[in-house]
A and B are shown apart, each in its own frame.
Chain A
Amino acid sequence: MNPKLYLPIAATLEKVVEETHNIKTFFLTPSSPLAFLAGQFVELTVPGVGEAPFTPSSSPAISDRLEITIMRAGTVTERLHALAPGARIGIRGPLGQPYPLDLFQGKEILIAGGGVGLAPLRALLFALFEDIGKYKKIIVRYGARSPEDIVYRQAVEKAWNKADALDVMTTVDKGNAFWTGHTGVVTSILDKNKLKINPAAAVAVVCGPPIMMKFTTLKLLEIGFDPDAIYLSMEKNMSCGVGKCGHCRLGPYYACKEGPVFTYRQIMDLPKIWE
């Protein structure tokens, strides 16, 4: 039994990288190593302010330094964004279930991200890279609102595309004078002919705002994905993160415990899942 189930350990904020006007990546050193698997999340505490759930975006292979990419969205995230390197915050976890990588083996993997939703998918990519030979192909489709809203700009555009087995494409809802890439919402780059994917031998992993997840899921079903092969990160209100407080209930599940990743099959019959 963990006597400090609801209390965080300390972590030092080492570095902050500004990704976009409202997204920053926080580099943290926990006071003792915190090993997580891709898809699991942590709760970060701003002392005296409160806690909120986030998914590490760094490699799960590294447990003594974590990167977490956070969008400014309200009370806790506002205070996180105001912190400077050296600050002490709290971290609690890992929480929730990881992506079932064993089920992904031998398959083509389509990763679809929207906005800050690329963060957990980045950790997944790192995990896949560790064992890249086990997967047939990795396709990343990322949508951001505008070129200024693209996270991990460096990584997305350069490093990721260099890996042989990787096919990365980014789209923006609205371009600017310098944007030469694709323009349109993320579903517009999920066209069956252009994707070169065999849905029967593939899995799709989706993370982004609810509206993006909804339309991406519909598109994936349309191009032939089975509801069992679509993995969705469900954002629910969370407090305890360990299946006790009741906040994150999604039908018969607690998203913090049985999730946050669900197959579409698990939740497709529940009412109002996209809200």
Chain B
Amino acid sequence: MPKWLPKDNLIKFINQVSAHAALFAQQSFYGHYHLVPVKEWQVDKHTFGAYRPFEPLKSVFFPPRESLGSLFQPNSDKDQPDRIVFGVKNCDLQSLRVHDYVFLHSDPIDPEYSRLREKTMLFTFDCTDCLEICFCTAVGEQPFPKSGFDINFSPLPDGFILESGSVRGETILTKCAPLLEEATASQMAERDAQRQNLSQRIARQATEKGLKPGLDFQKAVRNTQESALWKKYAADCVECGACNMACCTCHCFLLVDGLSAAGNNDRVKQWDSCLYRNFARVAGGANPRPLRAERLYNRFDKKFNFFKDKLGTYACDGCGRCIEACTGKIDIRDVLAEALHES
């Protein structure tokens, strides 16, 4: 049953659940929400964010540069503390389907991802606002989570509706029962109206960009491989890789060797970008995708074709981060709209 957390009990709730866990939350600066580690919750600083933060959630489970240890050294058993991420939005939550598929559900299991994922609880939030670049409704999502969270928070003016989505989440709600009430039917109705309003707003703004809900992007991408549109957009690409780094679903990485500060031969798992010229280059210089247009197409092929087949969903949840990040001002919505138009 949905619970009600009155606003006045929020800090008590946070203090209680965070007593034994490291926290992440959102913090607003430089015009964005940012995903930050929290030592101690500060009311004037830490928030749940109204929409997704600048940093993709993947960085919590799959850090940009992660040392995998030194070569030929015994395993240093890392003691992984429990963690809670506050304020996860649905786009980021959905992106974990891609990472779970790659790192957990496809053999062999990635040990680092598995350890971090297992020890981390996700406290998700309904979006209460959106960016102009959000288009989650166009890829079959909505600005609130339906499943996959530990606890979801739906903010209302005087408090929050809390729903558990896992055994861990349910346990916490039970433990925190003294701080909670039963959510009322009118609170639920208010929440649903709020959700619907924002969904409609996002659907409207995405539709204005040519992306109404329910379009077949897989077909659009499949049918346009030979189109000049990739060349046209790739002309603005400077191969910075920002689209991949910012993207909450991009999972590609490179194993890199080098010396650690301590002088050991370390191996590092580092985010990589399929837009980089050498991403698929083999020894001797042969390259299956020598042209930027081919590499740009490849990015869309992987997201809207490969993953649609493997996973049943696109590896894009409409977060708009790549639009924000692109040095060449390439807008994924324009690219998709044009591919749809041509297919």
Contact = CB atoms under 8 A, between A and B. Distances in A.
Contact of B283 (A2, A8, A77, A240): A77
Contacts of B72: 8-10, 47, 88, 90
A245 B257 contact: no
B13 interface: no
Nearest to A210: B286
A60 B242 CA distance: 44
Contact of B253 (A45, A48, A237, A244): A244
A82 interface: no
Interface in A213-263: 235-237, 239-240, 242-247, 249, 252
Interface stretch (B184-192, B205-213, B265-273, B325-333): B265-273
A1 B255 CA distance: 19
Given A6-B267, A7-B267, A51-B255, A275 B288 contact: yes
Given A2-B111, A236-B282, A275-B288, A247 B252 contact: yes
7 contacts: A3-B75, A4-B69, A9-B72, A244-B102, A246-B252, A246-B272, A247-B254
Nearest to B283: A73
A245 B108 CA distance: 12
B315 to A, nearest CB: 11
Contacts of A73: 283-284
Contacts of B287: 275
B283 A1 contact: no
A272 B107 CA distance: 28
Given A7-B68, A77-B283, A244-B103, A1 B251 contact: no
Nearest to A242: B108
Nearest to A240: B255
Given A252-B309, A275-B288, 19 more contacts: A1-B108, A1-B109, A2-B109, A3-B111, A4-B69, A5-B108, A5-B110, A6-B255, A6-B269, A8-B72, A9-B72, A73-B284, A90-B71, A236-B280, A237-B281, A247-B252, A247-B254, A247-B280, A275-B286
A2 B267 contact: no
A89 to B, nearest CB: 10
A49 interface: yes
Interface in B50-91: 68-69, 71-72, 75
A45 B71 contact: yes
A5 B279 CA distance: 22
A contact patch SS: loop
B225 interface: yes
Interface of A: 1-10, 45, 47-52, 73-74, 77, 88, 90, 210, 235-237, 239-240, 242-247, 249, 252, 271-272, 275
B282 A237 contact: yes
B114 interface: yes
A243 B108 CA distance: 8
Contacts of B280: 236-237, 247
Contacts of B102: 243-244
Contacts of A45: 71, 257
B259 interface: yes
A235 B284 CA distance: 11
Nearest to B77: A3
B151 interface: no
Contact of B71 (A5, A8, A240, A247): A8
B282 to A, nearest CB: 5
A45 to B, nearest CB: 7
A249 B306 contact: yes
A244 B251 contact: yes
Nearest to B302: A249
Contacts of B310: 252
Given A45-B71, A47-B71, A47-B265, A239 B255 contact: yes
Contacts of B252: 245-247
Nearest to A251: B306
B107 to A, nearest CB: 8
A249 B298 CA distance: 10
A244 B108 CA distance: 9
